[in-house]
Amino acid sequence: MKLGLHSKTAIVTGAGRGIGLATVRALLEEGVRVLGAARTITPELAASGAVPVSADLTTPAGVAALVEAADAELGGVDLLVNNVGGGPDTGRLTGFLDTDDAQWAGYLDVNLYSTVRVTRAVLPGLLERRGAIVNVSSVNSRLPASGPVAYSAAKAALTALGKSLAEEFGPRGVRVNTVSPGVVRTAIWEDPEGFGGKVAQAAGVDHAAFLKGIPEAFRITTGRITEPQEVASLIVFLLSEAAANITGADYVVDGGTLKTV
């Protein structure tokens, strides 16, 4: 399949690891010139061939630095992947009554407002180039009981934002789609000190045993969790000319976790 992405330019946020890094690599393989933004530049991102930019996208200054770097290094942007996500305390397990205003603000800043800020800054150029955007949400936007309440609410808002942007800017040539992964093999789950490790500890099970049991616990139809490159492949397709009439869609990549129609 010819994707028609060669010589295009792209920004990928949250590019230091996991889905973001896999997306950077997949775009580079298609001949795209990529700027990878992350709060911390990982060795993997630095060695990827992308232009690495350290930026805190929860701040206007961080977004300004990102756009300035994109103009200087890429000469403009055709494609935007809003992948940055997580939260201020992804290593903690909190219910609604344990989540204070500062934590709510932190989750909204990372998962929603960062995308709002970056998109607002990049969109004028995307309109000129008739570009495309993919926002990375989460299956938690549809299964809110499966994660921290503030994270799930922020991701649901992000999914709704994508639909609104698609409606407003589709007639002007910019496509906007959303990808909502389920459990993906990233540090969030595999790091013993991260969210997965805390869930395992709370359940009183060994972390390795917990990881092995995720497909059964989450009723994943395929019997395995998703790999980052599988999500990246979908993102790249949605950015490409092969998906030229797809906009306003939300694609779930969860191995069959979501059972509803």
pLDDT tens profile 96-145? 898 999 999 999 999 999 999 999 999 999 999 999 999 999 999 998 77
pLDDT band, residue 197 (cuts 50/70/90)? confident
- CA nearest to 131, candidates 95, 167, 175: 175
Domain 9-183+227-253 has CATH 3.30.1490.20: no
Structure tokens at 127: 């309109």
User: For residue 211, what are the contacts with CB-CB under 8 A and spacing of at least 6?
Assistant: 189, 190, 196, 200
Mean pLDDT of 150-172: 97
**% of the chain surpassing 70 pLDDT:** 97
Q: Tell me, what's the pLDDT at 87?
A: 75
Query: Do 77 and 237 meet the contact criterion of CB atoms below 8 Å apart?
Result: no
| Distances in whole angstroms, Cα of residue 13 to Cα of each of 49, 71, 99, 246 | 15, 16, 26, 22
Neighbours of 246 (CB within 10 A): 15
pLDDT in tens, 40-86: 999 999 999 999 999 999 999 999 999 999 999 999 999 999 999 98
Where are the alpha helices (H) located in 37-190, listed in sequence order?
43-46, 60-74, 101-108, 114-129, 149-169, 187-190
Mean pLDDT confidence for 153-164: 97
Domain boundaries along the sequence of the chain: 9-183+227-253, 185-225
Query: Which of helix, strand or coil describes residue 74?
Result: helix
Average of per-residue pLDDT across 19-42: 98
- Number of Cβ within 10 Å of residue 261's Cβ equals 3
DSSP bridge partners of 9:
33
Q: Would you say residue 91 has pLDDT above 70?
A: no
| 193/72: higher pLDDT | 72
Residues 33, 49: Cα–Cα separation, whole Å:
9
How much is the pLDDT for 196? 85
Confidence of residue 146 (pLDDT cuts 50, 70, 90): low
Q: Residue 203's pLDDT is what?
A: 81
Look at residue 92 and tell me whether its pLDDT is greater than 70: no
Q: What is the pLDDT of residue 73?
A: 97
Q: What is the pLDDT of residue 89?
A: 60
Please state the length of the chain: 261
Specify the DSSP class assigned to residue 193.
T
Helix 101-108 and helix 149-169, axial crossing angle in degrees, nearest 10: 40
**Averaged pLDDT for residues 197-221:** 90
Q: Which two tokens stand for residue 258?
A: 């979501």
Catalytic residues: 151
- Most distant CA pair in the chain, distance: 54
Mean pLDDT value across residues 179-187: 95
